Amino acid sequence: MSQPIIWIHGDCLSPAHPALQKYPEASAIWVWDEKLLLEWRISLKRILFIYECLLELPVEINRGDVVTEIGKFASARNTTNLVTSNSPSPQFRDLCQRLTTEMGLEVEILEVEPFLDRTGYIDLKRFSRYWKVAQQELFP
């Protein structure tokens, strides 16, 4: 088996990312998703926060279509093995499916220990909304 690559996405921007821990020598990629940036109209403040988190990680930062960029990254490293962390996002499942069918990648998804173990809906578009719910459960 060839050395895998690691896909870092917005739901796990930690130096303790399980893929970075499991494969410390692997190359990692982050892709600014052009489509998502336009659809969600992510604020400059949030983009800056994400960028600052990325600066703490051993990751190559790209921009474009996530599947295409990860496919090129994998091809340049002569691998078909991709490792990432799980995400509650519906887009995540679609991207993983496309990475498998369109790019021929074998995707290994690692679980992340949750910061907050909560069932039910959580608004993930705004950190402040998430944090309001988290604070109530973590610090009653």
> Per-residue pLDDT tens for 84-117?
999 988 889 999 999 999 999 999 999 988 766 6
Q: Which of 3, 7, 2 is nearest to 92 (CA)?
A: 7
Q: How many domains does the chain have?
A: 1
**pLDDT under 70: residue ranges of the chain:** 1, 115-118, 124-126
44: domain CATH number is 3.40.50.620
Tell me the residue range of the domain where 100 lies.
Answer: 5-138
Closest CA to 29 of 4, 48, 2, 1: 4
pLDDT for 29: 98
Distance, in Å, from the CA atom of 25 to the CA atom of 117, rounded to the nearest integer, reads: 30
CA-wise closest residue to 32 among 52, 11, 47, 46? 47
